[in-house]
């Protein structure tokens, strides 16, 4: 495999786009801000200078219109990449995505495909508030004809984006803004990560913890603390939502007997609801206790940092839920939990990374 370097997710996404565009001249980028100095949080930096305005196109605030243009171009053999700075901005293009991109292959009997990729980013922090911080992955994952992925690691983000740009089907890539800061080893050059289902990122035998996107990072932090109390967590990255491939999760629950799902979005009607339903259908006899889901509460995202303190699931709430599932004595988890709580208390409220300066 090619040499690996340390990159963050934003750098990995930028590199993936560059590698793919160099390899395939049919690929072009569209979006609001793709060529401005901030370059969609750095993920499109330098692409306009390298490939020109014909392949890196700045778009007006007309999401439905330019999504239609991209779908038409895809049908005619091009490979568009649309980038939205927020999931919320993509809502104006749902009719195009759901009725045209997702259905063209089916309604034409396979004669036409739509090799379109749409990146969209979940906001959090700095007063993003109700309309700039929605994690709406269930909305896209319920539509047959779309593929939906949520990368968390830098290696995964680069490989998934290259795979998406080579896929004949429309792919929705949902990125949490805070995972852009996550660093990891990333191979140089061109490689792909299959868009085929969840993957285990930590092995354990006491409880299965499944998470999407940024919540995976919280889950891994929680798993480290749980280990200190003697609880071994099997942590699964729900990196691919559609196609839905629950087998790794079901197999894990058959071993652990316990399931904890952490949604990036709302708990009710979330991805976790589908996963829990599937586990109950396929592995009910293996469950020793009812599954538990964590997610956002049933109200819009507050803008105030004071109100955000208890809005998002955290490593601490994951620890508490996992401890309750396993029935561990509170005294066994108290000391490692308190140590983590003290560490987290030193961090600023609702700021993703020390280098973050806002506003987005």
Strands, sheet with 147-149, edge to edge from the N-terminal-most edge strand:
56-58, 27-31, 79-84, 117-122, 171-176, 147-149, 240-242
Going by the DSSP 8-state scheme, the letter that residue 181 receives in this structure is: G
The total number of residues written for the chain in this structure: 360
Q: Count of CB atoms within 10 A of residue 26's CB? A: 16
Give catalytic status of residue 166 as yes or no.
Answer: no
Give catalytic status of residue 63 as yes or no.
Answer: yes
236-275 as b/e: b if 16+ CB within 10 A: bbbbbbbeeebebbbbbbeebbbbbbbbbbbbeebbbbbb
Q: Using CA atoms, how far apart are residues 131 and 121, in angstroms rounded to an integer? A: 13
Residue tagged active-site, from 11, 32, 63, 218? 63
Going by the DSSP 8-state scheme, the letter that residue 127 receives in this structure is: T
Q: Using CA atoms, how far apart are residues 307 and 171, in angstroms rounded to an integer? A: 34
Residue tagged active-site, from 11, 15, 84, 132? 132
CA distances from 213 to 51, 80, 218, 253, 295 (A): 31, 24, 10, 21, 12
Exposure of 227 by Cβ count < 10 A (0-12 exposed, 13-18 middle, 19+ buried)? middle
Instruction: Just list the catalytic residues.
Output: 63, 132
């Amino acid at each position: 495999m090619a040499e690996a370097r340390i990159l963050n997710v934003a750098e990995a996404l930028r590199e993936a786009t560059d590698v793919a565009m160099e390899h395939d001249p049919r690929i072009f980028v569209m979006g609001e801000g793709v060529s401005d100095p901030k370059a969609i949080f750095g993920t499109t930096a330098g692409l306009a200078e390298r490939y020109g305005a014909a392949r890196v196109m700045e778009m007006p605030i007309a999401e439905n219109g330019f999504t239609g243009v991209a779908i038409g171009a895809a049908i005619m053999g091009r490979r568009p990449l649309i980038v939205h700075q927020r999931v919320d901005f993509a809502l104006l293009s749902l009719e195009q995505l759901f009725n045209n991109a997702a259905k063209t292959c089916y309604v034409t009997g396979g004669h036409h495909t739509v090799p379109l990729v749409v990146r969209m980013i979940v906001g959090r922090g700095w007063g993003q508030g109700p309309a700039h911080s929605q994690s709406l992955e269930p909305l896209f994952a319920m539509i047959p004809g779309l593929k939906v992925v949520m990368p968390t690691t830098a290696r995964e983000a680069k490989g998934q984006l290259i795979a998406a740009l080579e896929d004949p089907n429309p792919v929705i890539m949902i990125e949490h803004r805070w995972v852009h800061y996550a660093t990891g080893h990333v191979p140089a050059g061109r490689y792909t990560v299959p868009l085929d289902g969840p993957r285990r990122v930590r092995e354990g035998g006491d409880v299965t913890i499944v998470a999407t996107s940024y919540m995976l990072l919280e889950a891994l932090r929680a798993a480290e603390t749980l280990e200190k109390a003697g609880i071994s967590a099997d942590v699964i990255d729900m990196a691919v939502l559609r196609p839905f491939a629950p087998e790794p999760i079901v197999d894990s629950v058959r071993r652990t007997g316990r399931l904890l799902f952490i949604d990036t979005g709302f708990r009710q009607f979330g991805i976790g609801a589908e996963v829990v339903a599937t586990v109950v259908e396929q592995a009910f006899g293996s469950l020793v206790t009812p599954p538990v889901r964590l997610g956002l509460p049933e109200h819009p995202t507050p803008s105030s940092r004071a109100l955000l303190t208890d809005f998002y699931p955290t490593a601490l709430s994951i620890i508490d839920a996992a401890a309750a599932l396993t029935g561990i004595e509170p005294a066994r988890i108290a000391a490692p939990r308190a140590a983590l709580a003290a560490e987290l208390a030193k961090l600023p409220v609702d700021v993703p990374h020390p280098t973050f300066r806002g506003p987005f």
